[in-house]
């Protein structure tokens, strides 16, 4: 299993770098839309949402991304209205196609929750990309370093359980490693990409990103524990599903974007 994880990472990381560094910026938006759609499908399957409800949810998820391909200003102003329109469409279809009102509140709540959880939390990455591609490097390097240090420190030195009812294998020592990993990655990013930016500022962003990485991971673990499954899917050998790979960055992206805008 560990060898599979390493092999997949060695293939995926260079491809990801080439996609965001050498291709037009819009390619990154469509990558977010593509992998976001898969992750949203996995989330709906995790929650037992299937059939026409899940299909319409996926269509709405894709439509949330499309305005950003045309205009930043228009997309920003339209975003709230798009979520509102998605709810109107989903509720109307639920009303007239599925005539039984039983379970409608739970079903619509899960559909809208999926739209907020996946496309809603992925879109800030596009805003970071519009700022500078280096912020995408920063985000993913911090998340990757946080995940890696959390895994190895937790595995080798973990003694105190962090949240056993949600994720029995996670430890306090691993969580500390996640924060430290984010900070170390921030220092590397300062050296590689942001030599003119204040190091304490980047270090703060990295430490917070490392902390939020753990929260994002735990939130998805909570959903999987509730659904009694180990992985969101078996799509990626050794890694589970796309949602399993995005869980941390779903939370880290918006937090990094807000902090970068507020503290810059």
Q: Are 253 and 122 in contact (CB under 8 A)?
A: yes
Q: What are the beta bridge partners of residue 236?
A: 240
Please tell me the predicted confidence (pLDDT) of residue 140. Answer: 95
Give whichever of 60-69, 71-80, 220-229 has the largest mean pLDDT.
Answer: 220-229
Q: What is the pLDDT of residues 85-117, one digit of tens each?
A: 999 999 999 999 877 888 899 999 999 999 999
Q: What is the pLDDT of residues 152-203, one digit of tens each?
A: 999 899 889 999 999 999 999 999 999 999 999 999 999 999 999 999 999 9
Distance CA 121, CA 131 (A): 17
What integer is the mean pLDDT of 218-230? 95
pLDDT classification of 66: cutoffs 50, 70, 90: confident
Distance CA 6, CA 136 (A): 22
Residue 262 has pLDDT above 70, yes or no: yes
Residue 2 has pLDDT above 60, yes or no: no
Distance CA 176, CA 158 (A): 10
Q: What are the beta bridge partners of residue 163?
A: 167
Please tell me the predicted confidence (pLDDT) of residue 9. Answer: 62
Please tell me the predicted confidence (pLDDT) of residue 234. Answer: 86
245 Cβ contact list (under 8 Å, min separation 6): 236, 239
Distance CA 198, CA 256 (A): 16
Residue 1 has pLDDT above 60, yes or no: no
Instruction: Give percent above pLDDT 90 in the chain.
Output: 70
Torsion region of 103: left, alpha or beta (phi above 0 gives left; psi -120 to 50 gives alpha)? left
Across the chain, mean pLDDT equals 90
Residue 152 φ then ψ, to 5°? -75, -40
Q: Are 118 and 36 in contact (CB under 8 A)?
A: yes
Token pair listed for 1: 């299993």
């Amino acid at each position: 299993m560990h060898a599979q994880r390493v092999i997949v990472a060695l293939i995926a990381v260079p491809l990801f770098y080439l996609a965001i560094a050498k291709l037009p910026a819009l390619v990154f938006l469509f990558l977010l839309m593509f992998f976001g759609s898969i992750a949203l499908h996995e989330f709906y399957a995790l929650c037992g949402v299937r059939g026409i409800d899940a299909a319409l949810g996926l269509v709405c998820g894709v439509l949330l991304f499309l305005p950003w391909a045309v205009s930043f200003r228009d997309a920003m102003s339209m975003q709230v209205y798009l979520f509102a329109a998605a709810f109107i469409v989903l509720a109307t279809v639920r009303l007239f196609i599925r005539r039984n009102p039983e379970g409608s509140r739970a079903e619509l709540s899960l559909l809208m929750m999926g739209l907020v959880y996946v496309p809603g939390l992925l879109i800030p990455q596009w805003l970071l990309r519009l700022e500078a591609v280096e912020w995408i490097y920063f985000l993913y390097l911090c998340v990757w370093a946080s995940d890696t240090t959390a895994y190895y420190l937790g595995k080798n030195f973990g003694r105190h359980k962090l949240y056993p009812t949600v994720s029995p294998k996670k430890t306090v020592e691993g969580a500390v490693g996640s924060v430290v990993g984010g900070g170390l990655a921030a220092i590397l990013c300062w050296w590689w990409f942001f030599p003119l930016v204040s190091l304490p500022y980047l270090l703060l962003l990295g430490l917070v990103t490392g902390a939020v990485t753990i929260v994002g991971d735990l939130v998805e673990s909570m959903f999987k524990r509730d659904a009694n499954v180990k992985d969101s899917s078996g799509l990626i050998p050794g890694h589970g599903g796309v949602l399993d790979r995005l869980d941390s960055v779903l939370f880290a992206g918006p937090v990094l974007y807000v902090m970068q805008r507020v503290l810059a």
